[in-house]
Amino acid sequence: MALIITDECINCDVCEPECPNSAISQGEEIYVIDPNLCTECVGHYDEPQCQQVCPVDCIPLDPEHKESKEELQAKYLIISGQA
């Protein structure tokens, strides 16, 4: 499952540089996560790094993009050029 940034985002700029897949970018009003690039850090870390650094806890799982750990691992392999 990809992650999503909610309206509680305060644009603090700490999540974007933590994303190993460059899935986070500045949107029109708040930061956004590209679900095609988000692997919840599978393949890189044990836990999503953006969630770890977010001071307002505004990065939950995105119910619109459900994926298993296996699917996230496969996406990681494609994104990293290992597939």
31-48 confidence digits (pLDDT tens): 999 999 999 999 999 999
CA distance 44 to 6: 24
Q: Where are the domains of the chain?
A: 16-79
pLDDT of 49-63, one tens digit each?
999 999 999 999 999
pTM assigned to the model? 0.93
Pairwise CA distance, residues 45 & 59, whole Å = 16
Per-residue pLDDT, 21? 97
Whole-number pLDDT of residue 29: 96
CATH class of 16-79: alpha beta
Task: Quick: pLDDT tens for 68-80.
Answer: 999 999 999 999 9
